[in-house]
Amino acid sequence: MARLKLAVLISGTGTNLQALIDACREPDFPAEIALVISSRPGVPGLERAGGAGLATAVIDHKAFKDRAAFDAALDRRLRDSGAGLVCLAGFMRLLTEGFAQSWRDRLVNIHPSLLPAFQGRHAHERALSAGVRFTGCTVHFVRPEMDQGPIIVQAAVPVHVDDTVETLRERVLSAEHRCYPLAVKLIAEGRVRVVNEIALIAGADTPRAAILNPRDSRGR
């Protein structure tokens, strides 16, 4: 069976790109990275891709007069790559409605919260300010509205009483590195279908027990 071709879009360090690179190195992983595109030149994620021997391209958003022109150039490059799935991995550009619709159910994103909570920027700061006991990350199909779309995989991450934004970010990021390859694997195996804007996963199991935070360490 042919492996699903991925295009990964980045704008920065590319740690989720690295998680996908590592997953795609496994001989039984059902996907491979055909192209990595950055919206910014000289970012560390391009070095990661180059070090892995992957094809890269820079489509600098500053070189275009508007979002539509940028998205048109991005769309052409993606179609030339033969990618069947586009993965946003720290891609710091808002995509136009036309682009999102043209790649509908072939465009995924990862967000550092349990969507629909804390959409948009500063998710960790807002989670701490809200005093939630759990936050996490979400891999979802992209829709024109920001951080919306059918949810494929989520991970719940406990919030500690002494957390800072940085410690919480690192804990969530570790979960992201597990969630993204899993979501891509499920899609590549043909196990994900969208029905009434809900992603249904064939053959998936779910945890049965609740997780409590905080735990009563005194045992009462």
Nearest to 30 by CA among 20, 38, 40: 20
Residue with tokens 């406990």: 158
- What are the chain's domains? 1-103 (3.40.50.170), 111-206 (3.40.50.170)
Residue with tokens 């820079």: 58
How far apart, in Å, are the Cα atoms of 156 and each of 9, 162, 205? 25, 18, 16
Pair 114, 123: CB distance under 8 Å: no
Q: Cα(176)–Cα(200) distance, rounded to whole angstroms? A: 20
pTM of the model: 0.95
Q: Cα(55)–Cα(35) distance, rounded to whole angstroms? A: 5
111 catalytic, yes or no? yes
Q: What is the pLDDT of residue 10?
A: 98
For residue 201 the two structure tokens come to 């996963």
Q: Cα(100)–Cα(174) distance, rounded to whole angstroms? A: 27
**Across the chain, how many H-helices and E-strands are there?**
6, 9
Question: Per-residue pLDDT for the chain (220 aa), expressed as one digit of tens each?
Answer: 799 999 999 999 999 999 999 999 999 999 999 999 999 999 999 999 999 999 999 999 999 999 999 999 999 999 999 999 999 999 999 999 999 999 999 999 999 999 999 999 999 999 999 999 999 999 999 999 999 999 999 999 999 999 999 999 999 999 999 999 999 999 999 999 999 999 999 999 998 999 999 988 775 5
**SS3 category, 184:** helix
Q: Judging by DSSP bridges, how do beta strands 31-38 and 56-58 pair with one another?
A: parallel
Kindly give the residue spans of alpha helices, DSSP state H, lying in 12-96. Answer: 15-24, 44-51, 67-81
**SS3 category, 22:** helix
Catalytic residue among 61, 111, 122, 124: 111
Q: Cα(217)–Cα(131) distance, rounded to whole angstroms? A: 20
Residue type, 5: K
